[in-house]
C-alpha cells in the first residue's frame, strides 16, 4: 500500500478519505445497531398504541351508532303502545340495521313486552346489569357479554332509557349487537404475524378477538391481563398469552364520556420487535464490509473525477429536496452500479414526497371546502329564517298597536301567512332530508298518471314562474303515461326541480318541461336557459347544501336541500335523476327517470255533497296557550262557539258538560296524550259522534296511522293550514 504515502495523487487521497470515512461508519454501525433496537421498541410501542386506539375508535363508532339508533327508537311516540305495533316497528328498524340481531322494549319490572325477534316464552331481564344501570343512570349503557336467550347468538346488549315528560324512566329499549358484526370493525386492521387483538367487557369477558374470534367469545381473560386492563391505559405491559408467547401489550378504552366499559388491547410478540433491528444491524455490518471493498475498488478503478462529480450531483439534489424543492431530480442515468441505485432511490424518494405533498394539499383543500360549505349553510339557514321573521315581527307589532286600518290588517295578515308558509317549507325540507337519509320514509306505491303529477307540480311552482315572468312551455303526450309511486312525494320531486329552474333562470328566461315514454321508463325533463352549471358544481349538485354561487342578497332563497331530496326520493321509487349543463350561463337540464307501469289508478270514491256552513260547538285542546287562543279567535270570527282546555282532564269535563260537535286536539298533552284523549271522547255518549281533528307537530306517516287507530277523523300538522281547516269545517254535517 505504498501508494498511500503518495498523497499528491487524487486517487490516493480518495482511497485515504474512503478509509477514514469508513472507520467512524464502522463504529457508528455498532452503536446505531443498539440504538435501533431501542428505537424499534419505542416505535413498536407507539405504533402498537396507535393501532390499539384505532381499533378502539372503530368499535366506539359502532357503539356510538347504536346509541344514536336507540335514542331515535326511544323517541318513537307509539313505542309504548300496542305490543304488536311496537314489534312491527322494531322489526322494520332491525331489518334496516342488520348489525343488530334483536331490538326490544323492557318494562321497569324487567319484562320484554315487544321485540323485533318475538320470543315464544316470556323473557324477563330484571337480573341484567345493563338494564338496571340504564334505569338508575338514565342514560345509554353498553352491557357486557351475553349469549342471547332468544336469538342464540353471542351479543352485547346496549340499552337506552325511555323518559317521560318529567324525565322519569318509564321503560328501557335495548339492541342486541351481534359480536361477529362488532368484530368486523377490527378485521381490516393489519397486525404483524403472531399478534393478538381482543376486546373485553368490564367483567373481563372477551367480546372481540383476532384471530379465531368465534372460539373465544365469552371467555374470560387471564388475571394478569385483567389487572393490566384496569391499570393506566397508555402503559405498555409484557404478558404471556395462552400459547405461551410473550407479547408487548398496549390498551385503550372504547369510547369516552362513559360510552362503554370495554377495553381493547393489542399484543405483538416481543422477540419480533427487535428482530428487524438485529437483522438490519447484521445487514449494515455486511454492507459496511462490502462498501469498504467496493469503495477501494471504485476509488482505484473508476477515478476520482467521475465519482466526485456524480456524488456532488447527488448531494446537490438531496439539498434541494431538503430545502423544499420536491421536483428536484438527480438527472443521472440509471445503471447497475451503486451510485445509480442511490440516484434512483433518491429520485424515487423525491417523487414519493412530492406525491404525498400533493395529496396533503388536496386533503387540505377538501377540508377547507367542507368547512366553507358548512359555514355557508349556517349563514344561509340564519338568513332564510331571519327573512320571514322580520315581516312577521313587524306585522305583529302593527296589529298589536291597534292603529292599523282594516285594509292594513288584511294586508299584514296575508304577509304573516305567507312568511309562516315559507318557514314551514324550510323546516319540512330539513325534516324530509333527515327522514330520507335515516330510512324512515316509506313511500306508498299506487298507479299514478304522469299528467296529474305534472299538473300538481306546475300548480305549486306557477306563482314563482309568473312572478319572474318566465316563458314556460310544457310537452306532455296525449297518450296517458303511468308510473307507480307516492303522489305527494313525486309532486314534491318535480316541484323542487321546477322551483330550482325558476330560481336560477333570470327574469324573462325560458323553462321547458317534457314528459315522454322511453322503453320501460318514463322521463320527465326540465330544461332552462338560466345560469347553468360549471363542471365542478355539476359533479356535486345532488349533495346536501350544494348550491351555485349567489348574490349577496341571496335572492334565490333555499337551503340547498331540494336537489339532494330529489335524488333520495327518486331512488326510493326505483328511478334515477341526472343533471347536465353545457357550462355557466348556458342553461341546465334535469332528467328524472321513473319505471313505467301499465296499471290504471283506482276509480275515486264519490265525495259527500257540500253542505252550507253552520255554527258549531267547538272544543280546542292544546297546552300551548298562545296556539289555543289564536285558534279560538279564528273560529269565533267564523261564528262558532269555542271552548278551550289546556289539558286532557279538563277537556273531558268540558266535553261532558257542553257536548262539542267538533274537537281540535293536540297530541302532546301534559297529562294524557291526544290518542288516549280521542279514545276517551269516543267512549263518552256526549261526543261519540263528534268530529275529532288532530292538530299536532308530528307529521310522520306512522303518527297519522296511530291517530286513525285512536279514532281521529282528520289530521293537521302545525302550523295549521287555515284555509284547509275552514274548508273542512264548512263540509261538516
User: So where are the chain's domains?
Assistant: 24-275, 443-547+557-595, 617-730
Contacts of 168 (CB under 8 A, 6+ apart): none
Given this model, what pLDDT does residue 554 score? 40
* Residue-level pLDDT at 293: 77
For residue 720, the model assigns a pLDDT of 78
pLDDT score, position 184: 64
C-beta pairs of 185-188 under 8 Å, 24+ apart in sequence: 185/55, 185/58, 185/59, 185/61, 185/62, 186/55, 186/58, 186/59, 186/210, 186/264
Question: Can you give the pLDDT at residue 286?
Answer: 81
* Long-range pairs for 115-121: beta carbons < 8 A, 24 or more residues apart: 115/87, 115/90, 115/150, 116/87, 116/90, 116/91, 117/91, 117/150, 117/151, 118/87, 119/149, 119/150
Share the mean pLDDT of the chain: 81
By the 8 A CB rule, do 429 and 569 touch? no
Cβ atoms of 652 and 677 closer than 8 Å: yes
Beta strands in 303-402 (DSSP E): none
Nearest of 603, 604, 624, 642 to residue 725 by alpha carbon: 642
Architecture of domain 443-547+557-595: 2-Layer Sandwich (3.30)
As to burial, measured by CB atoms within 10 angstroms (0-12 exposed, 13-18 middle, 19+ buried), residue 253 is: middle
Same fold, 24-275 and 443-547+557-595: no
At residue 185, the pLDDT reads 58
pLDDT at 327: 80
Q: d(Cα 261, Cα 607) in Å, to the nearest integer?
A: 61
Class of domain 617-730: alpha beta
Laid out side by side, the sheet with 471-475 consists of 471-475, 510-518, 521-528, 588-595, 576-580
Exposed/middle/buried for residue 635 (C-beta within 10 Å: 0-12, 13-18, 19+): buried
- List phi, psi (to 5°) of 29: -60, -40
* Residue 619 to residues 516, 690, 713, 714, Cα–Cα distance (Å): 51, 10, 15, 15
**In this predicted structure, what is the pLDDT of residue 505?**
92
Report the pLDDT value the prediction gives residue 710, as an integer from 0 to 100: 92
pLDDT at 7 (0 to 100)? 59
Cα radius of gyration rounded to whole Å, the chain: 37
Asked whether the whole model's pTM tops 0.85, one would answer no
Instruction: With residue 104 as reference, give the H or E element that holds it.
Output: strand 100-106
| Helix ranges restricted to H, 402-533 | 406-437, 450-467, 487-503
Q: Reply yes or no: is the peptide bond before residue 449 cis, omega within 30 of 0.
A: no
Contacts of 206 (CB under 8 A, 6+ apart): 145, 198, 199, 200, 216, 217, 218, 219, 220, 221
Burial of 207 (0-12, 13-18, 19+ CB in 10 A): buried
Contact assessment for residue 219 and residue 206, using Cβ atoms and an 8 Å cutoff: yes
| Per-residue confidence (pLDDT) for residue 680, from 0 to 100 | 93
Q: Phi/psi at 243 (nearest 5 deg)?
A: -90, 5
How high is the pLDDT of residue 420? 75
Kindly list the averaged pLDDT for each block of 10 residues, start to end, along the chain of length 733: 49 69 74 76 82 84 88 87 88 89 90 87 85 89 80 86 90 88 66 85 86 84 86 80 86 83 87 75 77 71 61 79 81 76 83 86 82 65 60 74 76 75 66 60 80 87 87 88 87 86 91 91 93 83 61 46 80 89 89 87 51 78 86 88 93 93 91 92 91 85 88 87 84 83
Query: What is the reported pLDDT for 430?
Result: 63
What's the pLDDT at 172?
93
Q: Which residues pair with 249 in a beta bridge?
A: 237, 267
Given a contact cutoff of 8 angstroms between Cβ atoms, the answer to whether 18 and 299 are in contact is yes
Handedness of CA 417, 420, 426, 430 (dihedral sign): negative
pLDDT at residue number 555: 44
d(CA 577, CA 492): 14
- Residue 512: the pLDDT is 93
Class of domain 24-275: alpha beta
Measure CA 28 to chain center. 54
Amino acid at each position: 500500500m505504498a501508494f498511500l504515502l503518495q498523497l499528491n495523487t487524487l486517487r490516493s487521497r480518495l482511497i485515504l478519505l474512503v478509509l477514514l470515512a469508513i472507520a467512524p461508519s464502522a463504529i457508528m454501525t455498532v452503536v446505531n445497531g443498539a440504538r435501533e433496537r431501542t428505537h424499534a421498541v419505542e416505535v413498536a410501542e407507539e405504533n402498537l398504541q396507535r393501532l390499539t386506539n384505532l381499533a378502539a375508535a372503530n368499535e366506539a363508532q359502532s357503539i356510538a351508532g347504536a346509541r344514536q339508533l336507540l335514542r331515535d327508537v326511544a323517541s318513537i311516540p307509539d313505542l309504548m303502545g300496542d305490543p304488536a305495533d311496537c314489534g312491527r316497528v322494531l322489526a322494520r328498524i332491525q331489518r334496516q340495521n342488520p348489525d343488530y340481531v334483536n331490538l326490544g322494549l323492557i318494562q321497569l319490572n324487567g319484562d320484554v313486552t315487544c321485540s323485533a325477534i318475538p320470543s315464544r316464552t316470556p323473557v324477563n331481564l330484571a337480573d341484567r346489569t345493563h338494564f338496571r344501570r340504564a334505569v338508575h343512570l338514565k342514560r345509554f349503557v353498553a352491557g357486557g357479554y351475553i349469549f342471547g336467550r332468544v336469538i342464540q347468538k353471542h351479543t352485547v346488549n346496549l340499552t337506552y332509557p325511555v323518559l317521560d315528560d318529567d324525565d322519569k324512566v318509564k321503560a328501557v329499549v335495548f339492541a342486541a349487537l351481534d359480536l361477529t358484526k362488532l368484530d368486523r370493525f377490527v378485521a381490516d386492521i393489519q397486525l404483524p404475524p403472531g399478534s393478538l387483538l381482543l376486546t373485553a367487557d368490564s367483567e373481563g369477558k372477551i367480546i372481540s378477538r383476532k384471530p379465531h374470534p368465534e372460539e373465544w367469545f365469552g371467555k374470560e381473560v387471564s388475571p394478569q391481563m385483567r389487572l393490566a386492563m384496569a391499570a393506566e391505559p397508555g402503559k405498555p405491559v409484557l404478558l404471556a398469552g395462552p400459547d405461551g408467547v410473550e407479547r408487548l401489550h398496549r390498551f385503550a378504552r372504547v369510547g369516552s364520556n362513559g360510552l362503554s366499559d370495554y377495553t381493547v388491547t393489542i399484543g405483538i410478540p416481543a422477540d419480533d420487535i427487535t428482530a428487524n433491528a438485529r437483522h438490519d444491524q447484521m445487514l449494515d455490518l455486511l454492507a459496511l464490509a462490502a462498501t469498504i471493498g467496493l469503495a477501494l475498488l471504485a476509488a482505484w478503478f473508476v477515478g476520482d473525477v467521475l465519482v466526485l462529480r456524480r456524488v456532488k450531483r447527488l448531494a446537490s439534489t438531496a439539498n434541494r429536496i431538503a430545502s423544499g424543492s420536491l421536483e428536484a431530480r438527480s438527472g443521472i442515468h440509471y445503471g447497475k452500479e451503486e451510485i445509480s441505485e442511490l440516484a434512483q432511490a433518491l429520485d424515487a424518494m423525491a417523487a414519493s414526497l412530492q406525491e404525498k405533498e400533493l395529496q396533503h394539499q388536496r386533503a387540505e383543500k377538501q377540508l377547507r371546502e367542507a368547512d366553507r360549505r358548512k359555514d355557508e349553510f349556517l349563514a344561509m339557514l340564519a338568513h332564510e329564517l331571519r327573512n320571514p321573521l322580520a315581516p312577521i315581527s313587524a306585522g305583529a307589532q302593527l296589529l298589536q298597536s291597534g292603529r292599523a286600518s282594516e285594509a292594513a290588517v288584511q294586508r299584514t295578515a296575508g304577509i304573516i301567512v305567507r312568511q309562516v308558509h315559507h318557514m314551514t317549507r324550510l323546516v319540512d325540507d330539513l325534516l324530509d332530508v333527515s327522514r330520507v337519509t335515516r330510512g324512515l320514509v316509506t313511500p306508498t306505491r299506487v298507479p299514478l298518471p304522469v299528467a296529474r303529477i305534472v299538473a300538481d307540480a306546475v300548480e305549486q311552482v306557477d306563482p314563482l314562474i309568473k312572478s319572474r315572468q318566465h316563458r314556460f312551455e310544457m310537452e306532455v303526450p296525449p297518450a296517458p303515461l303511468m308510473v307507480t309511486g307516492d303522489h305527494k312525494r313525486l309532486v314534491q320531486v318535480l316541484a323542487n326541480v321546477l322551483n330550482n329552474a325558476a330560481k336560477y333562470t333570470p327574469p324573462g328566461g325560458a323553462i321547458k318541461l317534457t314528459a315522454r315514454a322511453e322503453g320501460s321508463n318514463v322521463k320527465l325533463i326540465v330544461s332552462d336557459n338560466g345560469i347553468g352549471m360549471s363542471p365542478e358544481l355539476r359533479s356535486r349538485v345532488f349533495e346536501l347544501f350544494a348550491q351555485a354561487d349567489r348574490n349577496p342578497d341571496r335572492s334565490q332563497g333555499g337551503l340547498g336541500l331540494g336537489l339532494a331530496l330529489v335524488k333520495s326520493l327518486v331512488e326510493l321509487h326505483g328511478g334515477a335523476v341526472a343533471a347536465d349543463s353545457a357550462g355557466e350561463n348556458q342553461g341546465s337540464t334535469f332528467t328524472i327517470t321513473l319505471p313505467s307501469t301499465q296499471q290504471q289508478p283506482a276509480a275515486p270514491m264519490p265525495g259527500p255533497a257540500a253542505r252550507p256552513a253552520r255554527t258549531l260547538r267547538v272544543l280546542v285542546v292544546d297546552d300551548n296557550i298562545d296556539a289555543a287562543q289564536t285558534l279560538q279567535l279564528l273560529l269565533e270570527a267564523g261564528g262558532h262557539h269555542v271552548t278551550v282546555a289546556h289539558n286532557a282532564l279538563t277537556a273531558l269535563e268540558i266535553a261532558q258538560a257542553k257536548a262539542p260537535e267538533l274537537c281540535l286536539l293536540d297530541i302532546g298533552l301534559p297529562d294524557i296524550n291526544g290518542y288516549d284523549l280521542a279514545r276517551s271522547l269516543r267512549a263518552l255518549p256526549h261526543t261519540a259522534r263528534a268530529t275529532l281533528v288532530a292538530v299536532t307537530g308530528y307529521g310522520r306517516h306512522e303518527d297519522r296511522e296511530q291517530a286513525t287507530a285512536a279514532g281521529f277523523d282528520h289530521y293537521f300538522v302545525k302550523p295549521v293550514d287555515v284555509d284547509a281547516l275552514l274548508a273542512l269545517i264548512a263540509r261538516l254535517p
